[in-house]
Amino acid sequence: MGPKAPFLCQLGTAVLLALQVQRVASIPFNGQARQVSRPAISGYTYEGCYVEPNNGRALEVVKADDLMTLEMCAEICSTSAKKTYFGVEYGKECWCGSALAPGTTIAADDSECSFTCPGNSVETCGAGFRLSLYKNDDIAAGPVVSAKSTVGNYVHQGCYSDLVQGQRALSRTSAGDAMTPESCAAFCGSDTYMALEYGSSDFCAS
């Protein structure tokens, strides 16, 4: 039996490999299209809306403030020791860390992060067990490697953008610090599509 097509694999920050995936025209939110504000934060890149692991927390340092903003959280996480990530949750909780804890996953839809930042009403500060996550641009990423042309029955298709209008390209997901194309293929099983993103997250869909 020939290779299954199409296949998505390999990644860059906030970039997902995909092919022939239907794009959604709007973000459904209580029956209406919702505009999600992702303002640029100097020195940081928005990574997406992340779901806390079932046991524990995605990041290890927390501080709460009733006037929380994205800029305030970025400052908190760079004051003592510069952290790779900062994330805001429940509107007013600021979390910092050098790595995401195992079991942390990317939300199926970016609009799951829907709480307004109390200190700036045009910014979005996560939600319940949802982090609006940002990565420090000054911390070097890992080495760039070439994507494998095939992994099992999957064939590499290229590098594609994810979160088009806030919608995830592929719906089923898992995450792990030891992610590889092979482990992603094993997780996706018989799904038509597989993809890797952020170095530690994989996605699947039929």
Query: Does residue 112 lie in a domain region?
Result: yes
Please say which residue of 136, 165, 193 terminates a domain: 136
In a domain, 89, yes or no: yes
Using CA atoms, how far apart are residues 16 and 91, in angstroms rounded to an integer?
Answer: 27
pLDDT in tens, the chain (206 residues): 444 433 343 333 333 443 323 222 223 333 333 445 577 788 999 999 999 988 889 998 889 999 999 999 999 998 866 788 999 999 999 999 888 888 889 998 999 999 999 999 999 999 999 999 999 988 765 444 556 678 888 888 877 777 776 677 888 888 777 788 888 989 998 899 998 887 778 889 88
- Please check whether residues 173 and 103 belong to one and the same domain: no
Looking at the fold, whether 58 and 131 belong to one and the same domain comes out as yes
Helix, strand, or coil (residue 185): helix
The answer as to whether 36 is a domain residue is no
Does 132 lie in the same domain as 48?
A: yes
The secondary structure of the chain in percent helix, strand, coil, rounded to multiples of 5, reads 10, 35, 55
- Choosing from 112, 136, 160, the residue where a domain stops is 136
Cis peptide before 118 (omega within 30 of 0): no
Same domain assignment for residues 10 and 49? no
Are residue 117 and residue 70 in the same domain, yes or no?
yes
Structurally, how many domains does the chain consist of?
A: 2
pLDDT at residue 1, as a whole number: 41
Give dist(CA 173, CA 191) in Å, integer.
Answer: 12
Asked if the structure places residue 37 within a domain, the reply is no
* 167-180 as b/e: b if 16+ CB within 10 A: bbbbebbbbbeebe
Are residues 12 and 67 part of one domain? Answer: no
Q: Which of 86, 101, 136 is the last residue of a domain?
A: 136
Whether residue 129 sits in one domain with residue 48:
yes
> Both 101 and 148 in a single domain?
no
> Is this model's pTM higher than 0.85 or not?
no
Range of the domain at 63: 44-136
